[in-house]
């Protein structure tokens, strides 16, 4: 790695993936660093007053990876472990994800190192607004468009949009996506990421000749992505036999009642104390025998210690970066496991974010059916392009996805030229 500011294991992981794809593409050495390194970042201090009168300063970041194809696009993460290197890696992955889906965006990502569940609603609102206020010179509908990620919600996006709009003096709904539908949000956005994960899982089950009704799934992470993926898998006929969140794993070989689990979490915030399955440790959950394993939480959960112990046919990566480089190498030796790589598998979210942005800019709104039809068309196109690339290059699905996305960004930079 050759960065002093983004130094982190997750950034190193994203760089290694890039280097491998650039080698496969035999990318011109004059282009490599330009395509790889994040264009710019902003780190801000966000002081807020807590309900008890105390003033606390939270650190916030935003990284914009490249500006060559349109505004930058990507989520905003609220999590205690967020750091600049992680955000930079996530921004890089957004670039390849948007390019793979054919969206006119560069990648971005933001984050605040905070546990959002430790804050009251008022504190969360003050922090969200303060962050957006600090970001005003750095974002905008044609500059950088935020969206939800781990720990952020449509309500947080609504506060962001309101803060930005108050600053510019007119309604600027296209400055963020993932807003509530009543405020310029798109139908279908909330379920888009999880739905896309389930859609790809089903599509690859079909390719393997496994009927969804005979298939089982394990979903790791039960936030927006994991719970929506579990719901959609159920709807496709797949039996979800285990779920998990920070409180641990819950296993029920007869099938988890997803609706009940979602209701429980909306009341209790986590699955702690839920009795719809036998409690098992999170690392055991990943090794359960199943057809689909869907990691839908944070990075690097599939690593060199558990990669050889996985007992699934398909890994459907709902999270960004759930599989380390070392785990990829181990899994490459296992012909029984098919990896649906993150930048394809979870691209449904940013695709519907793009639809939301387009609808906001045009002040015209599509029905849920229209949104989902258009989404499925783009997902099918990306999968077909990835499979064609894989056959052409004889590489893994991750390498095929990355090389397609990276090549498109590299071409845009090459054609635009290097401004003196
Ligand atoms: N945070 C999501 C992701 O990682 C969505 C980004 C967006 O909708 O802009 O893909």
Show the 3-state SS of 45-89: EEEEECCCCCEEEEEEEEEECCCCCCCEEEEEEEECCCCHHHHHH
Q: Please tell me whether residues 200 and 98 are part of one structural domain.
A: no
pLDDT for 351 beyond 70: yes
In a domain, 413, yes or no: no
Report which of 258, 108, 282 is spatially closest to residue 198, judged by C-alpha positions.
258
Last residue of a domain, one of 340, 360, 389: 340
Phi, psi (5° rounding) for residue 315?
A: -105, 115
- Could you tell me if 74 and 110 are in contact, meaning their C-beta atoms sit under 8 angstroms apart? yes
Which of 75, 108, 189, when mutated, tests ligand 1's pocket best, judged by the most ligand atoms within 8 Å of its CB? 75
Q: Please tell me whether residues 196 and 151 are part of one structural domain.
A: no
173 Cβ closer than 6 Å to some ligand 1 atom? no
Instruction: List pLDDT tens digits, range 153-199.
Output: 999 999 999 999 999 999 999 999 999 999 999 999 999 999 999 99
In the block, which residue shows the tokens 């330009």? 34
In a domain, 204, yes or no: yes
Q: Please tell me whether residues 112 and 58 are part of one structural domain.
A: yes
Instruction: List pLDDT tens digits, range 74-97.
Output: 999 999 999 999 999 999 999 999
318 Cβ closer than 6 Å to some ligand 1 atom? no
CA angle in degrees (0–180, nearest 5) for 359-363-368: 45
Q: Please tell me whether residues 163 and 215 are part of one structural domain.
A: no
Q: Please tell me whether residues 318 and 210 are part of one structural domain.
A: yes
Measured in angstroms, how far is the CA atom of residue 172 from the centroid of ligand 1? 19
144 Cβ closer than 6 Å to some ligand 1 atom? no
For atom 9 of ligand 1, the residue with the nearest CA is 74
Domain interval for residue 22: 9-172
Q: Please tell me whether residues 151 and 211 are part of one structural domain.
A: no
Which of 94, 197, 322, when mutated, tests ligand 1's pocket best, judged by the most ligand atoms within 8 Å of its CB? 94
- Could you tell me if 38 and 88 are in contact, meaning their C-beta atoms sit under 8 angstroms apart? yes
Instruction: List pLDDT tens digits, range 252-266.
Output: 999 999 999 999 999
Q: Please tell me whether residues 195 and 140 are part of one structural domain.
A: no
321 Cβ closer than 6 Å to some ligand 1 atom? no
Q: Please tell me whether residues 157 and 217 are part of one structural domain.
A: no
The catalytic residue among 109, 202, 231, 383 is 109
Mean pLDDT within 373-396: 98
234 Cβ closer than 6 Å to some ligand 1 atom? no
* Annotation says 202 is catalytic: no
pLDDT band at 2 (very low <50, low <70, confident <90, very high): low
Q: Please tell me whether residues 128 and 223 are part of one structural domain.
A: no
Q: Please tell me whether residues 163 and 237 are part of one structural domain.
A: no
Last residue of a domain, one of 305, 340, 375: 340
Overall number of domains in the chain: 2
The minimum-distance atom of ligand 1 relative to the CA of 352 is 8
The minimum-distance atom of ligand 1 relative to the CA of 73 is 9
Task: Give me the half-sphere count of Cα atoms (radius 13 Å) on the Cβ side of residue 5.
Answer: 12
Report which of 18, 23, 62, 5 is spatially closest to residue 343, judged by C-alpha positions.
18
| Whether pTM exceeds 0.85 | yes
Report which of 225, 287, 222 is spatially closest to residue 256, judged by C-alpha positions.
222
**Which CATH number covers residue 102?**
3.40.50.10860
């Amino acid at each position: 790695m050759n960065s002093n500011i983004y130094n982190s294991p997750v950034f190193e992981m994203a760089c290694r993936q890039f280097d491998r794809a650039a080698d496969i593409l035999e990318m011109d050495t004059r282009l490599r660093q330009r395509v790889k390194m994040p264009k710019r970042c902003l780190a801000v201090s966000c002081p807020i007053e807590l309900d008890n009168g105390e003033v606390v300063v939270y650190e916030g970041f935003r990284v914009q990876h490249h500006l060559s194809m349109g505004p930058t696009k990507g989520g905003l993460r609220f999590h205690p472990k967020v750091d600049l290197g992680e955000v930079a890696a996530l921004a890089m992955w957004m670039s390849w994800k948007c390019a793979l889906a054919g969206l006119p965006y560069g990648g971005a990502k933001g984050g605040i190192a905070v546990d959002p569940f430790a804050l009251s609603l008022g504190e969360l609102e003050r922090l969200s607004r303060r962050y957006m206020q600090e970001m005003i010179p750095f974002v905008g509908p044609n500059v950088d468009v935020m969206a939800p990620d781990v720990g952020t919600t449509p309500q947080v996006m609504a506060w962001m949009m309101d803060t930005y709009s108050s600053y510019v003096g007119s309604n600027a709904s296209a400055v963020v996506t993932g807003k509530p539908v009543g405020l310029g949000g798109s139908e279908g956005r909330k379920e888009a990421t999880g739905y896309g994960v389930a859609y790809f899982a089903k599509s690859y089950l079909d390719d393997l000749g496994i009927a969804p009704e005979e298939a089982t799934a394990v979903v790791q992470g039960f936030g927006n992505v994991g719970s929506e993926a579990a719901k959609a898998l159920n709807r496709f006929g797949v039996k979800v036999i285990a779920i998990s969140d920070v409180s641990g794993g819950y296993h029920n070989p007869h099938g988890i009642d997803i609706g009940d689990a979602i209701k429980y979490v909306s009341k209790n915030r986590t699955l702690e104390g839920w009795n719809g399955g036998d409690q098992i440790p999170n690392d055991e959950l990943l090794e359960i025998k199943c057809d689909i394993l869907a990691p839908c939480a944070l990075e690097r959960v599939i690593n060199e210690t558990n990669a050889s112990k996985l007992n699934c046919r398909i890994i459907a990566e709902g999270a960004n970066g759930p599989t380390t480089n070392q785990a990829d190498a181990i899994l490459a030796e296992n012909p029984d496991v098919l990896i649906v790589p993150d930048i394809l598998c979870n691209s449904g979210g940013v695709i519907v974010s793009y639809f939301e942005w387009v609808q906001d800019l045009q002040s015209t709104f599509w029905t849920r059916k229209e949104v989902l039809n258009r989404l499925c068309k783009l997902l099918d196109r990306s999968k077909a392009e990835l499979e064609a690339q894989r056959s052409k290059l004889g590489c893994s699905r991750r390498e095929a996805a990355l090389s397609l996305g990276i090549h498109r960004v590299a071409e845009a930079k090459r054609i635009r030229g290097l401004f003196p």
